[in-house]
Amino acid sequence: MQFSDKLDQIETRFEELTAQLADPVVINDSDAYRKAAKAHSALTEVVSKYREWKKASSELEESRVMAADKDPEMRTMAADEVLRLEPLVVQIEEELKVLLLPKDPNDEKDVVLEIRAGTGGDEASLFAAEIFRMYCRFAETQRWKVEVTSSSESSVGGLKEVLALISGVRVYSKMKYESGVHRVQRVPETETQGRVHTSAITVAVLPEADEVEVKIEDKDIRIDTFCSSGPGGQSVNTTYSAVRVTHLPTGLIVSCQDEKSQIKNKAKALRVLRSRLYEIEIEKQQAQNSADRKTMVGTGDRSEKVRTYNFPQNRVTDHRIGMTIHQLDLFMQGRIEALLDALTTFYQTEKLKQQGEAA
């Protein structure tokens, strides 16, 4: 295996970190211990897989030697082992290549989810509400927390737009390929002649930025308060709990009225604003490296049609990878992980190809 030297270095570093975590000096230094534990955790999976590869490779070599034994029974047993171990070693090597790919620094982050109704009027708003419920149901299966920061309902009970914070384990890692235009094909409830209509919504998944990554100065923002609207009990339209934050340098505006507390609404609005500013900065960096941007076509451009939901045929098709699932009814209930995993695998494979070409 060509990259065994690199893996040897990683394993050595892993062993050093293991020793540090047992060192009383490190244990008594909370910052040092936290850094060592984080680094140790980041290497655990690749070291475990490397050790699995070394064990399988060693057994394969032993089996090949035994295959030349004079005892016919021993040769047969060894040949069977060679047939079992050869594909296993290749499989582990491929898994190691994926694990050694440069990590997306945002993979561990929580996300800001934005869904907006596009073409299609009321039908688009109804579909936006259904897609939001789909993501909420998926979040439940992952034990993630969903907090709505703001939403705007349509006259038919759909959603013109909704913004939500989703927090949990590796949220961005799983959700990052959902950005783009989601198209729906079905017969709307208002359609009297049974014709299939096409509507669309936009989905944006933004990694939530830490305060350290995006510093928002007080002088750069204007905060306005107003009365909440919609469901919420006696406090609605009586207290100025809703908050609108305007970022003066960019003109970005974020509103939040989900909480009854003005302080909580302000905190949520700033989280969303920080993530939007972070996205703008990331886009600037990507624009500076056009070569990298070309290789990431289809991985987050919200102007691109990424998926079609065809209700009459009970199918959902992701156009980036050409994958169709004929269980749209289950998909809309939040059973979307198979498609998310397929997208991750596809883009990992693309990165491996690029790495091979660069080498």
Task: Report the C-alpha gap between 54 and 60 in whole angstroms.
Answer: 10
CB-count burial class (<10 Å; 0-12, 13-18, 19+) for 341: exposed
Cα-Cα-Cα-Cα dihedral sign, residues 109, 112, 113, 114: negative
Return the SS3 of 183. Answer: strand
b or e along 198-214 (b: 16 or more beta carbons within 10 Å of the residue's beta carbon)?
A: ebbbbbbbbbbbeeebb
Q: What is the pLDDT of residues 210-254, one digit of tens each?
A: 765 677 888 888 988 887 665 444 444 456 788 899 998 889 998
DSSP string spanning 260-307? S-HHHHHHHHHHHHHHHHHHHHHHHHHHH-HHHHHHTTTSS-TTSEEE
The identity of residue 168, as a single letter, is G
Radius of gyration of the chain (CA): 26
Q: What is the pLDDT of residues 163-207, one digit of tens each?
A: 999 999 889 999 999 999 999 999 987 676 778 999 999 999 988
**pTM of the complete model:** 0.68
Note the pLDDT of residue 182: 96
Number of neighbours of residue 331 by Cβ within 10 angstroms: 19
Note the pLDDT of residue 299: 38
Query: Angle at Cα 176 formed by Cα 118 and Cα 258, nearest 5°?
Result: 60
Q: What is the pLDDT of residues 58-67, one digit of tens each?
A: 999 999 999 9
Note the pLDDT of residue 129: 96
Low-confidence residues of the chain: pLDDT under 50: 231-237, 289-302
Can you list the domains of the chain with their CATH numbers?
4-99 (1.20.58), 111-212+298-358 (3.30.70.1660), 218-287 (3.30.160.20)
Note the pLDDT of residue 286: 58
